[in-house]
Amino acid sequence: AVAALVLLLAGCATLKPDAGFAPVAAATADQLGKQLVWPRTPAEHDAIAARIDELLARPLSVDDAVQLALLNHRGLRAAFHELGIADAERVQASRLPNPGFSFGRFSRGDEREIERGLHLDLARLIMLPLAAPLEQARFERRQRELTMQTLALAADTRRAWIDTVAAGEALRYRERVQTAAEAGAELARRMGAAGNWNALNQAREQGFLAEATLGVARAQRAQLAARERLTRLLGLWGAQTAYTLPEQLPALPEAANDLPDIERQAMATRLDVQAAALEAETMARSLDLSRASRFVRVLDLGLE
């Protein structure tokens, strides 16, 4: 029965054509309504580059920014390849161990002795029915973690876009305040020169101008930091960093969404909870494997 199960596992486990990427892309499309692509051919890379140029040709809306981040973020692409590695490890754990061959030649004077050996890792063969489901659970957990990473990137990009546009609005407001303060300071100077204002009023206007100038500098720094954070999430560099954004945030909805079952939905659909459940299952399977192999970890069957 064990031999039949081993042969069954070895025959059924194969690499997935997309390395398990399809469920991640489907979850992204369902939750965000956005396209998630794993480019692996030159044609796919060219298609994504064209799509990125198309998005950058117009002011980036919040939805365009999220789509751009999903297509262009290098860290997310690296995570795609990690999913492919997890798929390979899943298949490797269900494959029969390779046999080993040893050869030795000894000589003493005119005497020669040649040894040849053929051996098989019997311990790994016996533990194969336990190791294969363990790697399968790890692979499924990696899928959940990648989906969660994708959704987190989308949320971070949306938040960074809002912060950047809001920082731009704040900067323009501070610049208008500075312009008004400059006009007030100039008026105070002229009124003082004409003898109509005392030194206290002139100093008050100059102080207001200094505060307005400081506010502009702080707003410029905040706007630069917010834009840099958004640029990193979008994965842009070089000439691409000259992208444009709307001058103001979109209007707020007239009414808030009615979500009476939001807690129940969160507990049922949260990917981190699902990943934690798979991690607990993986630890339980690892414990079973450790218990089964705690006394005998090396067991070879061979012929010499």
DSSP codes, 200-249: HHHHHHHHHHHHHHHHHHHHHHHHHHHHHHHHHHHT--GGGGG----SSP
Is the separation of the CB atoms in 85 and 15 below 8 Å?
Answer: no
pTM recorded for the entire structure: 0.74
Residue 288 has pLDDT above 70, yes or no: no
Closest CA to 292 of 130, 172, 173: 130
Q: Residue 162: is its pLDDT beyond 90?
A: yes
In the β-sheet with 300-303, what is the strand arrangement from edge to edge? 100-108, 111-121, 300-303
| Token pair 């720094």: residue | 221
Do 106 and 113 contact (CB within 8 A), yes or no? Answer: yes
In this prediction, residue 169 carries a pLDDT of 95
Asked whether the beta carbons of 142 and 22 are under 8 A apart, the reply is no
pLDDT mean across residues, the chain: 85
pLDDT of 224 above 90? yes
Q: For residue 113, name the pLDDT band (cuts at 50, 70, 90).
A: very high
DSSP H or E segment with residue 119: strand 111-121
The band of 193, judged by pLDDT with boundaries at 50, 70 and 90, is confident
pLDDT at residue 208 tops 70: yes
Please say if the pLDDT value at position 125 is more than 80.
no
